[in-house]
Amino acid sequence: MRLRWALCALLFPAVLAAQDARLVARLPKATATRVGLLVDSARAEGLPTEPLILRALEGASKGAPEARIVLALDGLRDALRGARGVLGVETTAEDLAIAASALQAGVPRERVAELRQWRNGRSLTAPLGAYLDLVARGVPAERAWSQVSTLAQRRAPDRDYVGLGETRPRTPEEE
Amino acid sequence: MSDELRDDDPLRRMTEALHAPVAVRPGLMARSRARARTAQRRRVGVSLAGAAALAVVLVWRTPRGDGLEAVTFALRAPPSTPITLVGDFNDWQTGGVPMHRTADGGAAATVRLRPGRYRFAYVTAGGEWIPDERAAPVTDDFGRPTSVVTVVAP
């Protein structure tokens, strides 16, 4: 028992030192430690850690309790794993982050994979971002996907997706 | 009286000059077409940027070669208390980016960002969280209004 406490006392400062300084500065010590372990495990899996750290800092700024922050990070880490499963290990951190957002929003994995093929190595942020914005604004998912996939298949530049997010949903009379 | 013009007649010389073949530099037509296409693309780009500036939060401009875009976040009818802009770009530090009052009664702040997707919100001095009325809303894990913006290279 004494040995265990001695080990904890020895390792705890090392764990804190390895953590991102932002987490240590902004989160309560216990929360920072828990979040730090979660971030470390993501790093060990080869997942990008910055989205997790930013989400934890967002939670801290919003005054969220530890359990809620950890739950959010768990969900995001799972989504990042899922995104890497779809896109592969050679994917950029930026693409993994936007694909994770898409999967969390309910976009089918097949669509993310399809979009990656059409984009042929270019970033997925603009098309997936536009798709998520359209759906968030109330455009039916199928119509949103149709607009985005049309541009993607045409190999349109990123700036062409900007206006899509502003598309007004059609009223029933316009259908 | 004959209709034939003399060789040294100015009218004849003018007519011959107008009928003479014109030497065109190689690639002139291709260059002209390329210029026309560029001009058309610029017009489309300007109209797209204008639409985005009206409808979205951001007005981007002035890339300086470092890959950063100046993005302006704006509220049209902000509360009277001081407001800060917080988001992924400043580690969600609530005191990070103060918004200044604009002449039309709004509030705005400009930050330089790389192309990407950023979650953000506005926070009043009283601790109230405000989403951007024109940006897309996103699901929030922590029960506060949050918006999202995608910055693309022009």
Q: Is the pLDDT of residue B26 over 80?
A: no
Closest CA to A162 of B71, B150, B57: B150
How does DSSP assign B13-42, residue by residue?
Answer: HHHHHHHSPPPPPTTHHHHHHHHHHHHHHH
What's the confidence (pLDDT) of residue A17?
A: 47
Whether the model pTM is above 0.80: no
Place of tokens 């050679």: A90
Place of tokens 């536009």: A130
Residue A20 to residues A6, A28, A99, A168, B34, Cα–Cα distance (Å): 24, 13, 24, 42, 51
Q: Which of B94, B136, B138 sits opposite A61 (nearest CB)?
A: B94
- Dihedral sign computed on CA atoms, order B104, B106, B110, B113: negative
Q: Is the pLDDT of residue B84 over 50?
A: yes
Identity of the amino acid at B146:
T
Query: Of how many residues is chain B composed?
Result: 154
Tens-digit pLDDT profile for residues B85-134: 999 999 999 888 999 999 999 999 999 999 999 999 999 999 999 999 88
Work out the pLDDT band at A19, boundaries 50, 70, 90. Answer: confident
Contacts of B144 in chain A (CB under 8 A): 62
3-state DSSP assignment of residue A40:
helix
Q: Is the pLDDT of residue A88 over 50?
A: yes
Nearest CA in chain A to B127: A62
Distance from CA of B145 to the nearest CA of A (A): 10
Chain A, window 23-52: residues with a beta carbon less than 8 angstroms from a chain B beta carbon: 26
End-to-end CA distance of chain A: 71
> Which of B86, B119, B141, B148 to probe the A interface (max A CBs under 10 A)?
B141
Tens-digit pLDDT profile for residues A125-174: 999 999 999 999 899 999 999 999 999 999 999 999 987 755 444 444 43
Contacts of A68 in chain B (CB under 8 A): 141-142
